[in-house]
Chains A and B, each alone.
Chain A
Amino acid sequence: MLTFAVVLRPGESPYRQVVYAATKAIVGGELVPGDPFPSVRELSQALKINPNTAQKVVAELARDGLIVVQPGLGTVVARLPKGGTDDKRRLLAHDVEQLVVEAARLGISREEIHRAIDSRWQAVVASTDARPTAGRTASGPAVSTPRGRR
């Protein structure tokens, strides 16, 4: 029913879980620019989440520039910006630092962390890197999942 996969688990706010799943689907190329993004009603019905939560998810993704809300036409996935801005890099710096601290504490080497990041990057984002800008010809685990289209 939805164009991306979400399995909600208890113990974390549904809002954050859905925002994360949608973000992952967009950066991973499961949803490509121009794809329709589910409406508040569709999100709420498909995931059985509170409509106010679904509304917050759409607002958050739109604020982050991942989707574009076109009144009357529906919501579509936006084109991802090339290269992060300084603001965004600064935001990420905190997460990177936490990762480094945690790795050092657990005695994980720099090389191991690099390898782990590379492998996650391959799994999540690589299919979009490889894809020609024009079309949706890329294949890979992220894109091969069946999806309903309107």
Chain B
Amino acid sequence: MNAVEVQQLCYRYARKTEALHEISLDVPRGAIYGLIGPNGAGKSTLLQCCAGLRYAGSGSVRVFGADTRKRSPIVAGVMTYMAEAVKLPARMTLAQLEAYIAPLHAKWDGALAASLRERFALDPARKVGTLSRGEHMKAALLCALAPHPTLLLMDEPFTGMDVMVKDDLVRGLLASATDTGTTIMVASHDLTELETVIDHLGIISNAKMVVSASMESLRARFRRVHVQAPSEVLVTAGHDTGWLGIEQAGRRLSFMADASRTSLVPEAMQLRFPGAEVEFSEPTLRELLTTLAGRAGARSPLEMVP
């Protein structure tokens, strides 16, 4: 059973255009799933639907097999959710906040809370309102991890954080994923933080899911091809349906090749560009995002991505 199963989810804010259109995705148990996409694509709405904070207009969201409409995953104690720019009660000390939250969770782990406090160098006697932004975020992560969630949803946890805070947050997440197998779904614009951490990727653009797959399968399927030709090359878009995001400047050409539609055998590329130097690299998240998200509105060959 997957941690999260979303099927044909549509969501519409009152009298506005659709915020989510026929979204389907699976988050396997134990995965760290990165959700990326342009501003306004629908990432936050999708996370809120998964958290059971919004209900689908049509389609379904299941968390560990249970429809969120029938059983709220937060109330059931299997999930914690860190909202974007989360605000904790300013007048409480961290110790008071922990004491306040603990009884709300069946599996609140005081020892884990203490060890996270130490890891994040947080003083329990400090008032939450006096914490810096980074410390505030660490305190929020402490509150999200100490109840031992089976699933943790995070919306833009890294925004505005310095690199040291990001490192602490990421290491805290990884420790929790390693020690208790917590499934994590994180929406972020911070692609460099996600790059090595996630093992599943969802790209959402313009209310539609462009791709949702394991990083392993994406790395096998897409390759960035760099061609340095002996003379100027002319390639027009649509020349080969498996070539995406074509960039060219004089004798240099680079594009993303989709192995399910074009040959990625080096010899084949050498034949296509005689006398050229051809190099391959695995796509970065940034390259995947810019190449695939741009195509969502258009007649996208990627809409049938499994």
Contacts and interface: CB of A to CB of B under 8 A. Distances in A.
Nearest to B270: A105
A107 interface: no
Contacts of A53: 196, 199
Contacts of A50: 32, 174, 177, 196-199
Nearest to A54: B178
A37 B97 CA distance: 40
Interface stretch (A9-17, A22-30, A112-120, A140-148): A9-17
A11 B282 contact: yes
A45 B196 contact: no
B178 A44 contact: yes
Nearest to B170: A48
A7 to B, nearest CB: 12
A47 B282 CA distance: 19
B35 to A, nearest CB: 15
B174 A45 contact: yes
Given A41-B175, A41-B179, A44-B174, A12 B281 contact: yes
Interface in B146-202: 167, 170-171, 174-175, 177-179, 192, 195-199
A48 B197 contact: yes
Interface string B190-223: 0010011111000000000000000110010000
A136 B254 CA distance: 47
A100 interface: no
B294 interface: no
Contacts of A34: none
B124 interface: no
Instruction: Say which size band chain A's interface belongs to.
Output: 10 to 19
Contacts of B216: 13
Interface residues of B, number: 27
A8 interface: yes
A10 B288 CA distance: 12
A40 interface: yes
Nearest to A12: B282
A48 B282 contact: no
A103 to B, nearest CB: 15
B196 A47 contact: yes
A51 B199 CA distance: 9
A8 B196 contact: yes
B54 to A, nearest CB: 29
Contacts of A14: 195-196
A45 B168 CA distance: 10
B49 to A, nearest CB: 25
Given A41-B179, A49-B197, A50-B198, A11 B174 contact: no
A45 B171 contact: yes
A8 B284 CA distance: 12
A32 B160 CA distance: 43
B224 interface: yes
B199 A52 contact: yes
B197 A40 contact: no
15 contacts: A10-B192, A10-B195, A10-B284, A13-B282, A44-B174, A45-B174, A45-B175, A45-B178, A48-B167, A48-B170, A48-B171, A49-B196, A50-B177, A52-B31, A53-B196
Interface of A: 8, 10-14, 40-41, 44-45, 47-54
Interface of B: 30-32, 167, 170-171, 174-175, 177-179, 192, 195-199, 215-216, 219, 224, 281-286
**Among all A-B residue pairs, the 10 with the closest Cβ atoms:** A11-B281, A10-B284, A51-B178, A14-B196, A50-B199, A49-B196, A41-B178, A44-B174, A48-B170, A52-B199
